[in-house]
Structure 1
Amino acid sequence: MLKYWLWMAELPGLTNQVRLALLRHFGTPENAFYADAGEILLTEGITKEQAEALDNKSLAAAGKILEDCRRLGLRVLTFQDAEYPNRLRNIYDPPFLLYVRGRLPAIDEEPVITVVGTRRCTPYGETCGEKLGYGLARGGAVVVSGMARGVDAAATRGALRGGGVPIGVLGCGLDVVYPPEHRYLYEDVAAAGALVSEYPPGTEPDKSHFPVRNRIMAGLAAGTVVVEAPLRSGALITGNTALEQGRDLFAVPGPIDAPASAGCNRILRDGGIIVTEPRDVLDHYAGRFPDKLRLEEAREEPETLGYQARRERAEAPRAVPPSLSLSGSGLTDDQIALLRALAGEPRLVDDLIEETGIPARRVLSALTLLELDGRIAQHAGKRYTRVVTLTE
Structure 2
Amino acid sequence: MLKYWLWLTERPGLTNQVRLALLRHFGTPEAVYYADPEELLLTEGMTAAQVQHLAERDLSEAENILEACDRLHQHILTIQDAAYPDRLKNIYDPPCLLYWQGHLPAFDEEAAIAVVGTRSNTPYGVACAEKLGYGLAAGGALVVSGLARGIDSAALRGALRAGKPAVGVTGGGLDVFYPRENQYLYEDIAAAGVLISEYPPGTEPKGAHFPVRNRIISGLCVGTLVVEAPERSGALITAETALEQGRDVFAVPGPIDAPCSAGCNRLIREGAGLTADAWDILQEYAEAFPAKLSGTPRREEPAALGYQARQQQTKPARKVPPALDLKKTDLKLTDDQIMLLGMLGEEEPLLVDDLVDRTQLPARRVLSALTVLEMEHLVTQHSGKRYTRAVTLYK
Q: Judge which range, 366-375 or 109-118, deviates more.
A: 366-375
Q: Is the contact made by 2:169 and 2:217 (CA closer than 8 Å) also made in structure 1?
A: yes
- In 1, the alpha carbon distance for the partners of 2:383 and 2:120 equals 18
State, as a whole percentage, how many aligned pairs show the same letter.
Answer: 57
What is the Cα-based RMSD across aligned positions, in Å?
Answer: 2.7
- In 2, the alpha carbon distance for the partners of 1:295 and 1:120 equals 36
Q: Name the SS for the 1:296 alignment partner.
A: coil
Code of the residue aligned with 2:87 in structure 1: it is R
Q: Is the contact made by 1:139 and 1:298 (CA closer than 8 Å) also made in structure 2?
A: no
- In 2, the alpha carbon distance for the partners of 1:258 and 1:28 equals 51
CA deviation vs aligned residue, 1:298-329 (integer Å, no higher than 9, x gap): 75662699xxxxxxxxxxxxxxxxxxxxxxxx
Q: Is the contact made by 1:226 and 1:264 (CA closer than 8 Å) also made in structure 2?
A: yes
CA deviation vs aligned residue, 1:212-248 (integer Å, no higher than 9, x gap): 1001001000000001111011110100110011100
Distance 1:341 1:356, change over 3 A: farther
Residue 341 (structure 1) shift: 6.0
Corresponding residue of 1:364:
368
Distance 1:375 1:111, change over 3 A: closer
CA deviation vs aligned residue, 1:31-68 (integer Å, no higher than 9, x gap): 11111111111111111111111100000100000000
Using the size of structure 1 for normalisation, the TM-score is: 0.83
Code of the residue aligned with 2:51 in structure 1: it is A
1:342 pairs with 2:342: no
Task: Return the structure number with greater relative CO, CA threshold 8 A, min gap 6.
Answer: 1
- In 2, the alpha carbon distance for the partners of 1:304 and 1:193 equals 31
Distance 1:273 1:79, change over 3 A: same
Using the size of structure 2 for normalisation, the TM-score is: 0.82
- In 2, the alpha carbon distance for the partners of 1:233 and 1:11 equals 31
Q: Is the contact made by 1:3 and 1:63 (CA closer than 8 Å) also made in structure 2?
A: yes
- In 2, the alpha carbon distance for the partners of 1:46 and 1:356 equals 61
Distance 1:241 1:361, change over 3 A: farther
Distance 1:126 1:295, change over 3 A: farther
Q: Is the contact made by 2:125 and 2:151 (CA closer than 8 Å) also made in structure 1?
A: yes
Distance 1:125 1:219, change over 3 A: same
Residue 183 (structure 1) shift: 0.8
Residue 377 (structure 1) shift: 3.4
- In 2, the alpha carbon distance for the partners of 1:59 and 1:157 equals 39
Corresponding residue of 1:151:
151
- In 1, the alpha carbon distance for the partners of 2:3 and 2:383 equals 50
Corresponding residue of 1:302:
306
- In 2, the alpha carbon distance for the partners of 1:214 and 1:116 equals 10
Code of the residue aligned with 1:258 in structure 2: it is A
Q: Judge which range, 368-377 or 173-182, deviates more.
A: 368-377
Alignment of 1:1-392 (within 5 A): 1-296=1-296, 302=306, 332=339, 342-343=353-354, 358=362, 360=364, 363-366=367-370, 368-369=372-373, 377=382, 379=384, 384-385=385-386
Unaligned runs of 5+ in 1: 306-329
Q: Name the SS for the 1:52 alignment partner.
A: helix
- In 1, the alpha carbon distance for the partners of 2:259 and 2:244 equals 25
Corresponding residue of 2:313:
none
Q: Is the contact made by 1:370 and 1:376 (CA closer than 8 Å) also made in structure 2?
A: yes
Q: Is the contact made by 1:231 and 1:263 (CA closer than 8 Å) also made in structure 2?
A: yes
Distance 1:120 1:294, change over 3 A: farther
Q: Is the contact made by 1:341 and 1:356 (CA closer than 8 Å) also made in structure 2?
A: no
Distance 1:234 1:367, change over 3 A: closer
- In 2, the alpha carbon distance for the partners of 1:63 and 1:360 equals 37
- In 1, the alpha carbon distance for the partners of 2:106 and 2:201 equals 24
- In 1, the alpha carbon distance for the partners of 2:365 and 2:291 equals 27
CA deviation vs aligned residue, 1:348-386 (integer Å, no higher than 9, x gap): xxxx79x9664956641245548966686365xxxx346
Q: Name the SS for the 1:196 alignment partner.
A: strand
Distance 1:46 1:123, change over 3 A: same
Q: Name the SS for the 2:94 alignment partner.
A: coil
Residue 205 (structure 1) shift: 1.0
Q: Is the contact made by 1:138 and 1:297 (CA closer than 8 Å) also made in structure 2?
A: no
Distance 1:138 1:365, change over 3 A: same
Q: Judge which range, 369-378 or 156-165, deviates more.
A: 369-378
Distance 1:270 1:64, change over 3 A: same
Q: Name the SS for the 1:284 alignment partner.
A: coil
- In 2, the alpha carbon distance for the partners of 1:87 and 1:66 equals 27
* Paired residue total: 351
Q: Is the contact made by 2:145 and 2:167 (CA closer than 8 Å) also made in structure 1?
A: yes
Distance 1:35 1:357, change over 3 A: farther
Corresponding residue of 1:325:
none
Unaligned runs of 5+ in 2: 310-336, 345-349, 390-395
Code of the residue aligned with 1:240 in structure 2: it is E
Q: Is the contact made by 2:121 and 2:150 (CA closer than 8 Å) also made in structure 1?
A: yes
